[in-house]
Amino acid sequence: MRSVSVLGATGSIGESAFDLLVRAGGPKTYRTVALTGAANVARLAEMARALQAEIAVTALPEKLDDLRAALAGSGIEAAAGPAAIAEAAARPADWTLSAIIGAAGLPPGLEVLRRGGILALANKESLVAAGGLVMAEAARSKARILPVDSEHSALFQALGGESLENVDSVTITASGGAFRDWPLERLARATVAEASCHPNWSMGQRITIDSASMFNKALEVIEAHEFFGIDEGRIKVLVHPQSIIHAMVSHRDGGSIAHLGAPDMRHAIGYALNWPRRAPLPVPQLDLAAIGNLTFATPDETRWPALRLAREVIRAGGAAGAVLNAAKEQALDDFIAGRIRFTDMAGAVERALDACAAESGFGDSPGDLDTVLAWDARGRHLAACTAGAA
Ligand code: NDP
Ligand code: MG
């Protein structure tokens, strides 16, 4: 029987994975090793009971008593804190989904890579902050990383194992998020509630806001560069409001292979779960005649400066990705808390990157977790300090 772990089980991606595991027969089909969450321990315990997990871990030590109470009589172990999440991730499992939000997903993801097996990677921040380290760890332990971000899963599928030698460029699409059609001057007044509604995808709040600011796509450009090893100039972004084509590989011979599908993350998660085979999934089939039109546009970098920053970060190299990711997480915290406006986020990130470049540059690509975390702390600090600056 295959063993699985889900890190970030209580989130949007985690819920979709849970749905797939339950539909596939739950404990009759999969042996669940570890499930992790943070605030939502009631749901974590419910999932752990349904899948008969070995251990359930909350990131929050103050929630441990609640988790223990919710698991009483089940025989399932309970634990709490970031170290306990890393320990649970290190327990052997054939397949592990990394679906914690933010840079917090990096340490447990590295534990999975150290012990080997398949890491189904939704946590794009791991590759943005520490792409070199993550890919080197996978190469060393022969762990297999399968992309779960829909665009990267689409590229992986469209490439079909072909070498990049014959590839001219890859394209990832962007819906344009909640504010695609808003006049520029209205963006500064966008509220957190408005930024938290995605037109096509149902996702966690933070990535939904990142979609509206295009920071999500910025992270994805860096993720594509790190995962596929493609230089920045060959990674294109196309605004495609219907979110039906997720990505496209364009070959040097003039042919392109695109990946299409309904905007439902269970496709990419299920593809990674069943890889290298395919299995039926509860994802609606496309009805292109009903959809009628697929439209495309070049993204406007005045509206979305995040895309320019991503390209600058790739060209800068070293720890620039770690700084961008951390500064972005800080700016997003500040926007959600009402300390800065929607349109201030990109400025805060850019000033953090500029300050870092001026003070020290971005050094070498970080070779260990502590170095990544030090750059991460610096990125957050610089973004917090410069958030109010003009
Ligand atoms: P959610 O915010 O919905 O869920 C995040 C998960 O992480 C929850 O289980 C949450 O626990 C847990 N968590 C929160 N903070 C911490 C922490 N400090 N330490 C450990 N665990 C924590 O996020 P999403 O599911 O939307 O996204 C997860 C990842 O997948 C992100 O990296 C995102 O970029 C990526 N992704 C998401 C997509 C989507 O459709 N949602 C699409 C492509 C990529 P709790 O809820 O119990 O507090
Ligand atoms: Mg995506």
Q: Which of 207, 210, 283, 325 to mutate to test the pocket of ligand 1 (most atoms within 8 A of CB)?
A: 207
Q: Tell me what pLDDT residue 387 has.
A: 63
Strands of 30-37's sheet in order across: 77-80, 55-58, 30-37, 2-7, 95-98, 118-121, 144-147
- Determine if residue 10 is labeled as part of a ligand binding site: yes
CA of 390 to the centre of ligand 1 (A): 32
The complex scores an ipTM of: 0.99
Strands of 256-260's sheet in order across: 235-239, 167-174, 245-251, 256-260
- Is there a contact between 129 and 326 (Cβ–Cβ < 8 Å)? yes
Which residues have CB under 6 Å of ligand 1?
8-14, 37-40, 59, 85, 99-101, 104-105, 122-125, 149, 201, 203-204, 206-207, 265
> Half-sphere exposure of residue 330, counting CA atoms within 13 Å on the CB side?
26
Which of 16, 336, 96 has its CA nearest to residue 193? Answer: 336
Question: Cα dist. 235→17, 126, 170, 242, 310 in Å?
Answer: 29, 19, 5, 20, 11
- Determine if residue 12 is labeled as part of a ligand binding site: yes
Q: Tell me what pLDDT residue 316 has.
A: 98
Rounded CA-CA distance 100/103 in Å is 8
- Is there a contact between 80 and 57 (Cβ–Cβ < 8 Å)? yes
Q: Tell me what pLDDT residue 117 has.
A: 96
Q: What is the pLDDT along the chain (390 residues), one digit of tens a residue?
A: 999 999 999 999 999 999 999 999 999 999 999 999 999 999 999 999 999 999 999 999 999 999 999 999 999 999 999 999 999 999 999 999 999 999 999 999 999 999 999 999 999 999 999 999 999 999 999 999 999 999 999 999 999 998 899 999 999 999 998 899 999 999 999 999 999 998 888 999 999 999 999 999 999 999 999 999 999 999 999 999 999 999 999 999 999 999 999 999 999 999 999 999 999 999 999 999 999 999 999 999 889 999 999 999 999 999 999 999 999 999 999 999 999 999 999 999 999 999 999 999 999 999 999 999 999 999 999 999 876 554
Question: Cα dist. 162→12, 140, 154 in Å?
Answer: 32, 22, 14
Rounded CA-CA distance 222/19 in Å is 30
Rounded CA-CA distance 333/301 in Å is 23
Query: What Rg do the C-alpha atoms of the chain give, in angstroms?
Result: 20
Q: Tell me what pLDDT residue 257 has.
A: 98
- Determine if residue 150 is labeled as part of a ligand binding site: yes
Rounded CA-CA distance 124/301 in Å is 22
CA of 150 to the centre of ligand 2 (A): 5
CA of 100 to the centre of ligand 1 (A): 4
Rounded CA-CA distance 129/123 in Å is 11
Q: Mind giving me the DSSP string for 16-36?
A: HHHHHHHHTTGGGTEEEEEEE
Q: Both tokens of residue 57? A: 């871990």
CA of 11 to the centre of ligand 1 (A): 5
